[in-house]
Amino acid sequence: MLHYRLMKGVEDIDAQFDMTELYEVIENRLGISKDQILGKSRYRPIVDARMVLVYILRTYNKETLQSIGKIIDRDHSAVINLIKRFDDYTTTDKRFKKIYENILWALVNQQKRQ
């Protein structure tokens, strides 16, 4: 998995996030519901939300490719593709990188409040 420079402190996060929290933060930040994320749409904003979800599940929750595939109703090769695209987008698309950072910080801040 590609590692790159994110906002200061992101690489130090050692947390696991609850699925309900993940869906809630993504919906609040992007306006994309759980049903849309889990659906078959290839509309870019929905795919962006799906990529962020998959990356967080893999990186922070340490989920297997197969278990992530079950969560989003895809096979493991689709999960691999989403992770590769996530890595590409975060290195080339500043807008996408900012979306990811905002969602991650919202999750971290929500956990701190609990």
Encode pLDDT of 42-97 as tens digits: 999 999 999 999 999 999 999 999 999 999 999 999 999 999 999 999 999 999 99
Domains of the chain by start residue, with CATH: 18-113 (1.10.1750.10)
Judge whether residue 40 has pLDDT over 50: yes
pTM for the structure as a whole: 0.87
8-17, 21-30, 59-68, 76-85, range with the lowest pLDDT: 8-17
CB 59 within 8 A of CB 1: yes
Q: What amino acid is encoded at 24 in this protein?
A: E
Residue 58: burial class (beta carbons within 10 Å; 0-12, 13-18, 19+)? buried
For residue 59 the two structure tokens come to 């990186």
Angle between helices 76-92 and 65-72 (to 10 degrees): 90
With a cut of 70, say whether residue 14 has pLDDT above it.
Answer: no
